[in-house]
Structure 1
Amino acid sequence: MQPTITVITLMTDDLEQAVSFYRDGLGLPTKGIVGDVNTDTQVAFFNLNDNLKLAIWPRRSLANQLGITPKGSGHMLSHNVTRQEQIDELASAAEQAGAELLKSPHWQPWGCYGAYFKDPDGHLWEITYNPAVDG
């Protein structure tokens, strides 16, 4: 399997201000804020190049999703895979290699199957499978 980083996630304390900065200030294309504030799924995606996206999540929402304390500057790298079973395999391999599994493989409210972990240095990672995208 070829590792593919497809999303760089940054955390923010003010999603509307961050969207304005990246959209209006830097000119990055976006559909704006999507998701539901009541389920901690609000996020804004910006197309960068090829298949790379920038995601901006409210710090508290992402921390709630991952079960961590929202503090400091935050980022997360996302690795998309082409088959659902790869999520289970990668989550297990990461844990065996020393990662702390924050959220076991599960179906997410937005329709993807994924898991979250912290690497041994504390960096956040998401591994995700989107059935709406052909591998």
Structure 2
Amino acid sequence: MVPNRVSLVTIGAVNLPELRKFYQKLGWSETAISSDSYCVFETAGVLLSLYPLQELANDSGIDFTASKDVVSRITLAINVDNPEQVDLTATEVRTAGGRIVREPSNASWGGRIAYFLDPENNLWEIAWNPTAIFDERGAMITF
């Protein structure tokens, strides 16, 4: 049986130093495993790593298009504790250099959402879900 967990999310970085600075500006802490050529950020749920795109291509055998113009087909999410935090988080992201692609607004399903792109066009959702339940670390366990 395959363990049903996601423990690490890795973003292939076109420009690792620039992308690293963005996440540092968000106030996210790096783990001790980070180095000049790889970095890992602590989150309440999974660890988020940034790895040079060419190295990821070498490791996986996949030929990625190294372009900042391509938007990922995967959306990462930051779930917050209340609807006001969606707006506050969007403001902080904008200040750090992220591009808001959907301004904070009420969602059809009863929550509040916004979307942004990091400097390399990785798509993130900021969401407040009124039915979300978090564990003691802040990781969402259900909604």
Shared fold, TM over 0.5: no
Q: Which has the higher strand share?
A: 1
TM range (shorter): 0.3 to 0.5
